[in-house]
Structure 1
Amino acid sequence: MDVDMIVSAPGKVILHGEHAVVHGKAALAVGLNLRTFIKVSHHKDNTVVINLPNIGTKLIWDFCQLQRLLPSFQVNLGHEPVSPSSEQLDLLKEFAGFPEESRDTESLAVLAFLYLYLSIYGRELPGLNIVVWSHLPTGAGLGSSAAYSVCLATALLMVSGRISHPTPEGIENIRWTETELNLINSWAFQGEKVIHGNPSGVDNAVATWGGALRYQSGQISPMKRVSVLKILLTNTRVPRSTKVLVAGVKDKLLKYPNIMDPVLSSIHAISQECQQVLEASSAGLSLDQYSVLEELIDINQHHLNVIGVGHPSLDRLCQVTASHGLHSKLTGAGGGGCAITLLRPDVDLGMVEVVKRQLVDCGYQCWETSIGAPGVSVHSSQSVPEDIRRAFSNA
């Protein structure tokens, strides 16, 4: 591969089933059309450059420095994905000059790159220049690290010749074979392990395949013929701890099993009902089906408040959108964080702009985007958004 390549992958949101999924119920995860983009080109002076302008990071290594690390990453010369060992991660931290307990965004992103780069190649290392730019905020529960890992895995596998390099003709048409997509997903999962330790695999699966998938008791099942739905995505900017929120739900379940069990079962039923609606028509949903989706959103948001993962910031968001006839629910851990608002195809666009202004006036970030987005894709430089072209040009 002698020319530049550009790869993108979507973020993700949980449509229904958050928290209930921890207790064996179903959850629906969907591709979010806020994407991470990576541009890769060969570096002629035998250096490796990783440039992450979103977080102000640019690191350059001499090719020979990285070559000396290779013996520790040749444990599987069959090139099948291998989980990172603690010894490998310690070696990479020492090489990159990161403290042993470092868990910030920069260090995790760099370590994931180094692990995938050294593990995928295993023998001959190419000089590369890699630039990453993302529309996804970090730490918001939107799958930003998985989109990054999927982009890295795809680009490195293409450069190494392990998967094909499709001609970019628009993201809807670019597909690798199922075997190639499985390989991308498996390697991206290893990148996620570097970043998160013990990820579920849902986020990287959504970033790889796009569309929507069902997750229950460790089993991931892609959904078929899912329509793309327009939404508002709102970040309340209220920080939250997923660990604390999950523990709170567990405590309630132990204290009030006869109350909480039916609520979690109802959330499971909402996921099932939503899946049936989404898969009912490959030609697009009717307005009546949109009405069902809106009712399910309202019911689930009330359930999530009942189990204790709501927040005044989310209540305010729901009040703003409901005052204009729109329907919203939190997505992810709750306790602040993000929410989605469904936009019907007959929605008044002027009203949507009013809602967005009111949400921004609350101090929130707001994007008009879509869910059910395509998975990992390859692009020509002309087919990426203008801000991505500028970011790549300025990097």
Structure 2
Amino acid sequence: MICSEAPGKIILFGEHFVVKNKPAIVTAVNLYARTIIKEYNGFKVESKQMGFTIDLNKPVPREYSHFIEIFKLISVKTSISKGFYAIIDSNIPVASGMGSSAATAVSLTHALLSYYGFKPEYSLVNEIAYRAEEIVHGKPSGVDNTVSTYGGLLFYRKNSFERISIKWPDEIVILVVDTGIKRNTGEVVRKVLELYDKYVDIYSGIYSVYEKLVFEAYKYLVHGDFHRLGELMNINQSLLESLNISNSVLENIVYAMREKGALGSKISGAGQGGIVIGLFKTSDLKNDLIHEFNSKGFKTYIVKPINTGVKNC
């Protein structure tokens, strides 16, 4: 039996701005997609959590065609000498902006390469997972599969990244609130780009302000100044609101966090739904705030950045 697990991610800074080649700061977090592979006389992939079982020898619904792509790419790299039954499990919220599909692709790729006796080097795992993400998302930035593969805090610009080498303090955590509001990421991105093209003189200025902000955020991360980092998260939220990706549900969560002691809070991901994140000192994060969000039907997660990417279970 082979077992591989890959982490989800949070975008601290960079939503939508990365599409125009601005940098992002992203981090792997301690939520995982896990793939267990057993020998089998066919080729099946199953996830009870996601509600599917597919046979790769038969026509596969379009929403699962990225699994076929992973299998094809791996078959080019190594000899497919035996069948497999892959069981995927995950505690990463689906369609929330936390990289669930990328982590699933990364963990499955890593597990299959290991199963067929091929060394699952990060660069190869990342390349294959990105190809799978292209099928899921069209033209992804590549950030989700990269951070899930390599782990850690990354300063990311399309096709390249720098690891931010810091020890995340024990007294700082990130509260994630998943609204459960689903949205089409590609459609949200398209509408933002339409606004940019319509008001290019205005939006080019907003994007320039963001670029200055993300370099400041990098500096405060390295120096461990989480108060300033939180303030920049708040500014980043205002920039995101100007892109018309917010709504009253998201903003109520953002401001509830700030009123209850968050150092900073913002949308993370495409917006219009998905998740909101808040940066908290552990001493300031109270159960009543979590209960308030849960009572409204939201799911909450307390996470921390992690340095490890995909690995054996």
CA distance in structure 1 between the aligned counterparts of 2:290 and 2:156, rounded to whole angstroms: 31
Contact 1:7 1:155 in 2 (8 A): yes
Contact 1:111 1:194 in 2 (8 A): no
CA separation of 1:119 and 1:57: change in aligned 2, threshold 3 A? farther
Shift in Å, 1:246: 2.5
CA separation of 1:155 and 1:56: change in aligned 2, threshold 3 A? same
Query: Counterpart in 2 of 1:96?
Result: 58
CA distance in structure 1 between the aligned counterparts of 2:173 and 2:184, rounded to whole angstroms: 28
CA separation of 1:219 and 1:187: change in aligned 2, threshold 3 A? closer
CA distance in structure 2 between the aligned counterparts of 1:51 and 1:272, rounded to whole angstroms: 42
* 2:291 is the counterpart of 1:367: no
Contact 1:8 1:37 in 2 (8 A): yes
CA distance in structure 2 between the aligned counterparts of 1:256 and 1:49, rounded to whole angstroms: 49
Query: Counterpart in 2 of 1:339?
Result: 276
| Residue identity in the other structure for 1:334 | G
CA distance in structure 2 between the aligned counterparts of 1:133 and 1:48, rounded to whole angstroms: 17
CA distance in structure 2 between the aligned counterparts of 1:256 and 1:47, rounded to whole angstroms: 54
Shift in Å, 1:151: 0.9
Note the aligned Cα RMSD (angstroms): 2.3
CA separation of 1:47 and 1:250: change in aligned 2, threshold 3 A? closer
CA separation of 1:360 and 1:125: change in aligned 2, threshold 3 A? same
* 2:107 is the counterpart of 1:151: yes
CA separation of 1:339 and 1:354: change in aligned 2, threshold 3 A? same
Residue 240 (structure 2) aligned to one of 293, 301, 304: 304
| Residue identity in the other structure for 2:58 | A
Which has a greater percent of strand? 2
CA distance in structure 1 between the aligned counterparts of 2:18 and 2:289, rounded to whole angstroms: 31
* SS of the residue 1:161 aligns to: coil
* 2:19 is the counterpart of 1:22: yes
Residue 54 (structure 1) aligned to one of 49, 52, 59: 49
Query: Counterpart in 1 of 2:117?
Result: 161
Residue 274 (structure 1) aligned to one of 201, 208, 217: 217
* 2:265 is the counterpart of 1:328: yes
Shift in Å, 1:253: 2.8
Q: C-alpha offsets along residues 315-373 of structure 1, whole Å, 9 cap, x if unaligned?
A: 1101221221212100111112211111225x245x1x211111112221111112345
Contact 1:231 1:369 in 2 (8 A): yes
CA distance in structure 2 between the aligned counterparts of 1:30 and 1:328, rounded to whole angstroms: 16
CA separation of 1:196 and 1:120: change in aligned 2, threshold 3 A? farther
CA separation of 1:158 and 1:205: change in aligned 2, threshold 3 A? same
Trace 1:1-395 onto structure 2 (pairs within 5 A).
4-43=1-40, 46-59=41-54, 95-98=57-60, 102-104=61-63, 107-108=64-65, 110-121=67-78, 123-163=79-119, 180-216=121-157, 218-228=158-168, 230-280=173-223, 285=224, 289-326=225-262, 327-345=264-282, 347-349=283-285, 351=286, 353-379=287-313
Shift in Å, 1:25: 1.7
CA distance in structure 1 between the aligned counterparts of 2:161 and 2:46, rounded to whole angstroms: 34
CA separation of 1:51 and 1:126: change in aligned 2, threshold 3 A? same
Contact 1:153 1:184 in 2 (8 A): yes
Shift in Å, 1:113: 4.9
Contact 2:37 2:84 in 1 (8 A): yes
CA distance in structure 2 between the aligned counterparts of 1:117 and 1:23, rounded to whole angstroms: 32
Q: Which moved more, 1:292-301 or 1:262-271?
A: 262-271
Contact 2:70 2:129 in 1 (8 A): no
Shift in Å, 1:249: 2.7
Shift in Å, 1:59: 4.0
CA distance in structure 1 between the aligned counterparts of 2:137 and 2:243, rounded to whole angstroms: 26
Contact 1:27 1:268 in 2 (8 A): no
| Residue identity in the other structure for 1:132 | I
Shift in Å, 1:50: 2.1
CA separation of 1:162 and 1:272: change in aligned 2, threshold 3 A? same
Contact 1:31 1:210 in 2 (8 A): yes
Contact 1:7 1:37 in 2 (8 A): yes
Unaligned runs of 5+ in 2: none
| Residue identity in the other structure for 1:233 | V
CA separation of 1:244 and 1:40: change in aligned 2, threshold 3 A? closer
CA distance in structure 2 between the aligned counterparts of 1:342 and 1:222, rounded to whole angstroms: 22
CA distance in structure 2 between the aligned counterparts of 1:150 and 1:58, rounded to whole angstroms: 19
The number of aligned residues is: 309
Shift in Å, 1:27: 1.4
* SS of the residue 2:304 aligns to: strand
CA distance in structure 2 between the aligned counterparts of 1:255 and 1:212, rounded to whole angstroms: 34
CA distance in structure 2 between the aligned counterparts of 1:372 and 1:157, rounded to whole angstroms: 24
